[in-house]
Amino acid sequence: MRIAGAASAFPKHYYPQAVLLAALREYWRGKIENPRMLDQLHAHAGVDGRHLVLPLDRYYDLQTFGECNRVWIDAAQELGERAIHCAMARAGLDLSQIGALFFVSVTGIASPSIDARLINRMKLPTNLRRTPIFGLGCVAGAAGVARAADYVRAYPDQVAVLLSVELCSLTLQREDISLANMVSSGLFGDGAAAVAVAGAEVKRPEGARCGPEILATGSVFYPDTEDVMGWDISEKGFRIVLSREVPEVVREHLGPDVDALLAAHGFERGDVGSWVLHTGGPKVLEAAEDSLGLKNGEIQASWDCLRRVGNLSSASVLCVLEDVMLNRRPPPGTLGVLAALGPGFCSEVVLLRW
């Protein structure tokens, strides 16, 4: 089974970090005890700019969670359709070949879920298996790839598609002046990504460029870490829970989690020549480098993705994967690792061979 194609899709509205900072500084004028703290947080976010699902001035019109969620429902379908079309085209596959659709998001909710709406919108096969997943947050990109791999292992003649849509700007609580919310205001952006995973028996056109083979996947849950990251959900919507402990949790666990999966399949960390990691933020990426002993630019693709578009929650690691597949493809036979961490707290690791 292979990752046959990957593609991102972004809203048309893109703003430099300085423009976003100026808008927040004006909105929170007189509410933040130390305004310079906001400037420092944005300056240290490692982000040049971000896509937003709406023009900046439209956010002032959103007064309720319901209004934000309706924007999410509409935009998720448009971005999701674009991402799936592009991922399948790059894979050399037809939409009629999709046997399963996994949808992940943590920035909006819908029933019928977005995957159901896309079947109607895109005329997808009506007998495909749908699995909408909510609540995994940043780890859901890697987890979704793993679940898609599980599916095509059972059905090797089928294609499973993973779609992630994260519109983080719609979750920003403008009355919340906590440190966690100010950090997130400088870090998170909007976007979507899709990945097509093809079973071993799926026939593809001659000359279609192959993506990496999925060798194995691993999931690790860290007991009693619910307060590290997540949402405090109320009638106002999603209020960010973001502990200062996140980098330390990453530093403590990611290396051992990767080593355990590698050892189970006869490999060592030194055998890995390609790394696709979630773009959690500068401190998280530094912690990942420390935990994995990476000091020579091995995760530059993740740093570059963070700089270009910010943290896209579950879509981030998929955008890094897309960049590696298009622009930084390692030599054939190279062992790779795709990994992310998120609420739970937990990790998902996917072992690849390019």
193 and 254 part of one domain: no
149 and 298 part of one domain: no
Amino acid letter, residue 64: T
N-terminal to C-terminal alpha carbon distance within the chain: 12
Q: Report yes or no on 207 lying in a domain.
A: no
146 and 229 part of one domain: no
Number of domains in the chain: 2
- pLDDT reading at 34 higher than 90: no
Q: Which pTM was predicted?
A: 0.95
277 and 129 part of one domain: no
Domain carrying residue 59: 2-198
Which residue among 198, 230, 252 closes a domain? Answer: 198
The whole-number pLDDT of residue 33 equals 81
Q: What percent of the chain has pLDDT over 90?
A: 84
pLDDT tens per residue, range 215-232: 999 999 999 998 888 888
Residues forming the active site: 138
Which residue among 198, 225, 260 closes a domain? Answer: 198
Residues with Cβ < 8 Å from 215, sequence gap 6 or more? 265, 351, 352, 353
Which residue among 138, 172, 198 closes a domain? Answer: 198
In the 3-class helix/strand/coil scheme, how is 40-92 assigned residue by residue? HHHHCCCCCEEEECCCHHHHHHCCCHHHHHHHHHHHHHHHHHHHHHHHHHHHC
Amino acid letter, residue 98: I
Q: Report yes or no on 205 lying in a domain.
A: no
Strand order, beta sheet including 335-342:
129-134, 98-105, 159-167, 190-198, 2-9, 213-221, 346-353, 335-342, 272-277
116 and 228 part of one domain: no
pLDDT tens per residue, range 283-333: 999 999 999 999 999 999 999 999 999 999 999 999 999 999 999 999 999
Whose CA is closest to 130, among 122, 233, 94? 122
The whole-number pLDDT of residue 221 equals 97
154 and 228 part of one domain: no
- What CATH number does residue 111 fall under? 3.40.47.10
34 and 134 part of one domain: yes
251 and 226 part of one domain: yes
Whose CA is closest to 49, among 166, 181, 187? 187
CB of 178 within 8 A of CB of 139? Answer: no
Which helix (H) or strand (E) segment holds residue 241: the answer is: strand 237-242
194 and 326 part of one domain: no
240 and 192 part of one domain: no
Whose CA is closest to 279, among 257, 301, 259? 301
pLDDT tens per residue, range 256-277: 999 999 999 999 999 999 999 9
Six-digit token string for 191: 């976007």
Please state, rounded to an integer, the average pLDDT across all residues of the chain.
95
